[in-house]
């Protein structure tokens, strides 16, 4: 069974809360499911199948009426927030059939992020979206990238995020730092809210920061704690904490919480969003007029472009049948190997026939 498929029984991000203005329709595709989403007059998120029950016209191209119903732009059928059709303009004298309806999708808005569940609705209470408290906190500055389309399976991004040995050469001249590769890795695994996670921990003492990190987080010589955690197939959380030697865990801590959300469109495309969070009162060392979060966010697009290029190229090779190919696993690949096992376990659970 290939791990490069879209898991459906999972919560995925369709956007940050600020992307959903009241009464604004947005179209999404998540794990092969077409969705229309909006924030209704009460401020709640509504997510329906985007295919009109009449002729599959995308409802996201329609409009919201004053009474809160959604009007399809093709023949004008109107739907309420439960997905039930409440008006068929072309046959006003006929009762609306019960099956004139579209599916609703479970949606949770939590910590400034909107999550949807494209899978089996009955299973949606078995897992919860991971927490992202920094995004909505008064103590943190939070900057996010907006949606970025990547023409590659989303597991390739997760594998990339769990593996920092690619900083050299992929990010050479940018955040490239071959020293990173020599730091010993510890691993942690577990389960939170129904989501199996895998985490790498890299700790160093008396470490000379490369210039870009001194620019972001001020200090030249530090003790450092750096973790990468696939919290679920929908979110990877990266935390870096640095402080002068002997001071880690004190008020001198600097660093970031970097959230990466990866939402499969289908098996070979996904939407990637990053969100950098730094303490509000932390300024950049290299540019004291910029906050630390702004400084990191200003440098990030260049790094991300390099990763997207690599993922797209990898996908082209993943598309070629495996015959004659033996994948090599190196010591630092332990976490991404575990991530693949977690993916395969979830895929087998929801596709028992395919797993045989």
- Residue 2 dihedral angles phi and psi, to the nearest 5°: -80, 135
Closest CA to 343 of 121, 105, 187, 158: 158
The distance of closest approach from Cβ of residue 36 to ligand FES in the complex, given in angstroms and rounded to an integer, is 12
Nearer to ligand FES, 53 or 157 (CB): 53
Choosing among Fe ion, ligand FES, none, which partner's interface includes residue 72 (Cβ < 5 to 8 Å by kind)? ligand FES
Residues between 120 and 149 that touch Fe ion (CB under 5 A): none
**Which pair of tokens denotes residue 275?**
């969100």
Closest CA to 273 of 36, 47, 15: 15
Would you call 124 helix, strand, or coil by DSSP?
A: coil
- Taking the CB of residue 193, how many other CB atoms lie within 10 A of it? 14
Task: Give the interface segment with ligand FES, choosing from 24-32, 50-58, 98-106, 232-240 (CB under 6 A).
Answer: 50-58
Choosing among Fe ion, ligand FES, none, which partner's interface includes residue 169 (Cβ < 5 to 8 Å by kind)? none
Residue 52 forms beta bridges with which residues? none
Nearer to Fe ion, 246 or 301 (CB): 301
Cα 268–Cα 142–Cα 162 angle in degrees, nearest 5: 40
> Which of 124, 218, 307, 335 contacts Fe ion by CB under 5 A?
307
* Class of residue 145 by CB neighbours under 10 A (exposed 0-12, middle 13-18, buried 19+): middle
Nearer to ligand FES, 75 or 313 (CB): 75
**Which pair of tokens denotes residue 127?**
């897992």
Task: Give the interface segment with Fe ion, choosing from 27-35, 99-107, 240-248, 306-314 (CB under 5 A).
Answer: 306-314
The distance of closest approach from Cβ of residue 69 to ligand FES in the complex, given in angstroms and rounded to an integer, is 13
Relative to beta strand 78-79, strand 85-87 is antiparallel
Q: Is 258 in the site for ligand FES (CB under 6 A)?
A: no
Nearer to ligand FES, 74 or 300 (CB): 74
- Taking the CB of residue 152, how many other CB atoms lie within 10 A of it? 24
Task: Give the interface segment with ligand FES, choosing from 49-57, 237-245, 289-297, 308-316 (CB under 6 A).
Answer: 49-57
Cα separation, 293 vs 88, whole angstroms: 51
The distance of closest approach from Cβ of residue 20 to ligand FES in the complex, given in angstroms and rounded to an integer, is 23
Q: Please report where in the chains the tokens 């597991």 appear, as a residue.
A: 155
Residues between 52 and 71 that touch ligand FES (CB under 6 A): 52, 54-55, 57
- Taking the CB of residue 24, how many other CB atoms lie within 10 A of it? 11
The distance of closest approach from Cβ of residue 287 to Fe ion in the complex, given in angstroms and rounded to an integer, is 23
Nearer to ligand FES, 60 or 284 (CB): 60
The distance of closest approach from Cβ of residue 72 to ligand FES in the complex, given in angstroms and rounded to an integer, is 3
Residues between 73 and 112 that touch ligand FES (CB under 6 A): 74-77
Choosing among Fe ion, ligand FES, none, which partner's interface includes residue 307 (Cβ < 5 to 8 Å by kind)? Fe ion
> In this structure, what DSSP letter does residue 146 have?
-
Task: Give the interface segment with Fe ion, choosing from 247-255, 290-298, 307-315, 320-328 (CB under 5 A).
Answer: 307-315
Q: Is 72 in the site for ligand FES (CB under 6 A)?
A: yes
The distance of closest approach from Cβ of residue 75 to ligand FES in the complex, given in angstroms and rounded to an integer, is 3
Helix (H) or strand (E) holding 141: strand 140-144
Size of the site for ligand FES (CB under 6 A): 9
Sheet containing 107-110, strands listed edge to edge, beginning at the edge strand earlier in sequence:
12-16, 113-116, 107-110
Could you report how far apart the first and last alpha carbons of the chain are, in Å?
9
Which residues of this chain interact with Fe ion, rule CB under 5 A?
307
């Amino acid at each position: 069974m290939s791990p490069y498929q879209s898991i459906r029984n999972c919560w995925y991000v369709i956007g940050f809360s600020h992307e959903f203005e009241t009464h604004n329709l947005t179209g999404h595709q998540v794990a092969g499911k077409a969705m229309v989403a909006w924030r209704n007059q009460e401020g709640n998120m509504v997510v329906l199948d985007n295919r009109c029950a009449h002729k599959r016209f995308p409802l996201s191209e329609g409009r919201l009426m004053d009474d809160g119903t959604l009007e399809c732009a093709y023949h004008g059928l109107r739907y309420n927030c439960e997905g039930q059709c409440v008006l068929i303009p072309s046959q006003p004298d006929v009762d609306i059939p019960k099956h004139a309806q579209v599916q609703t999708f479970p949606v949770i808005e939590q910590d400034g992020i909107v999550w949807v569940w494209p899978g089996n609705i009955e299973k949606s209470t078995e897992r919860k979206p991971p927490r992202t408290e920094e995004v909505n906190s008064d103590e943190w500055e939070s900057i996010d990238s907006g949606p970025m389309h990547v023409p590659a399976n989303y597991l390739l991004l997760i594998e990339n995020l769990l593996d920092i040995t690619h900083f050299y050469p992929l990010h050479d001249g940018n955040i490239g730092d071959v020293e990173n590769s020599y730091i010993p890795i510890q691993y942690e695994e577990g389960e939170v809210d129904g989501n199996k996670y895998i985490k790498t921990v890299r700790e160093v003492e008396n470490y000379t920061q490369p210039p870009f990190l001194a620019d972001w987080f001020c200090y030249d010589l530090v003790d450092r704690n750096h973790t990468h955690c696939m919290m679920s197939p929908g979110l990877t959380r990266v935390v870096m904490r640095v402080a002068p030697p002997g001071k880690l865990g004190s008020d001198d801590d600097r660093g970031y919480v970097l959230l990466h959300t990866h939402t499969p469109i289908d098996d070979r495309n996904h939407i990637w969003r990053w969100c950098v969070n730094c303490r509000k009162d932390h300024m950049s060392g290299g540019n004291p007029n910029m906050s630390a979060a702004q400084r990191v966010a200003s440098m990030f697009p260049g790094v991300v472009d390099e990763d997207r290029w690599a993922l797209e190229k990898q996908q082209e090779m993943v598309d070629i049948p495996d015959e004659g190919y033996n994948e090599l696993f190196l010591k630092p690949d332990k976490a991404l190997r575990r991530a693949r096992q977690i993916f395969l376990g979830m895929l087998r659970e929801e596709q028992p026939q395919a797993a045989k």
